[in-house]
Amino acid sequence: MTGVESLVVRAQQGDDDAFARLIVMHFAKASATASMILGDPAAADDVVQEAMVQAWRSLPGLRDPQRFEAWLRRLVVNRCLNHRRAARRLDHAVGRLRPALSSPGPERGVTDRDELGRALRRLSLEQRAILALRYGQDLTGVGIADALRISPGAARSRLHAAVTALRAALAAEDELSRSDAVQEAT
């Protein structure tokens, strides 16, 4: 049994020190993944916290300690995808309560950091998740499929579509930057 598996088993039995160590070990990847999907560090931190708390609650149900990382990854990705749905529902509710006020929405409330960030924001959440899993966590089609609960074939085709979409988004951002530069020059 590896060190991580041993920690998982101890955490399953209620050892919160072991769980704290698991959090620290897996935090960086989880946070970077959430950040790439949501494009908002604060929201990513919230989501990771929620996922970690859910992990604590649900950990006794994890049958195979070897699967902990994949299981946690799935929790985080699922949380990210649901986070935006919940935000949309909240926006809708707020919009109904305060129709006179225009809500900027979670997307526009976040500062765009760079061209890549802006391009990523043109993609769907699932496309961002696929890119984060492939290029951030170095997962293959099977790993992506597991995290998103889709077939490996679907994962591969969606990865291809996500890369294509990102290239198009980068090209669009590039075009936008050029036209801004021309306008500033004139």
Partner 1 sequence: MNDDGLELVVERRLRERFRADAESWDPEPTARAVMRRVHGQRRTPANGRSLARMVAGGMVAIALIGLVGTASLLAPSSVAPAAPAPPAAEASQGTEICYTGQYIPVESPDPHELDALIEAAGGPERWVTKKMYAGSTEGAARAFGGTLGEPTSSQYETIYIETARGIDSVALRRFESAAGVPVWISSHHTKAGPCRPGPTNTPRPTLDPHGPRPSMSFELYTHCGLDRSLIRFDGSYWKALDGPSGPLEDPFDQGTMTLLSQDRAEFQSDTGTTVLLQRLAARPSFVPCR
Q: Which stretches of the chain bind partner 1, using CB under 8 A?
A: 9, 12-14, 16, 19-20, 23-24, 27-29, 31-33, 35-36, 45, 48-49, 52-54, 56-58, 60-63, 71, 74, 78-79, 82-83, 85-86, 89, 116-117, 131-132, 135-137, 163, 166-167, 170
CB atoms within 10 A of CB 65: 19
- Minimum CB separation of residue 162 from partner 1 in Å reads 10
Cα gap 77→37, rounded to integer Å: 8
- Minimum CB separation of residue 104 from partner 1 in Å reads 22
Closer Cβ to partner 1, 82 or 102, answer by number: 82
- Minimum CB separation of residue 42 from partner 1 in Å reads 12
Closer Cβ to partner 1, 86 or 181, answer by number: 86
Cα gap 115→121, rounded to integer Å: 10
- Minimum CB separation of residue 60 from partner 1 in Å reads 4
Closer Cβ to partner 1, 13 or 177, answer by number: 13
Specify the long-range contacts of residues 35-39, CB closer than 8 Å, at least 24 apart: 36/120, 36/128, 36/131, 36/132, 36/136, 37/77, 37/80, 37/81, 37/125, 37/128, 37/129, 37/132, 38/80, 38/83, 38/84, 38/125, 39/107, 39/110, 39/117, 39/120, 39/121, 39/128
Closer Cβ to partner 1, 91 or 135, answer by number: 135
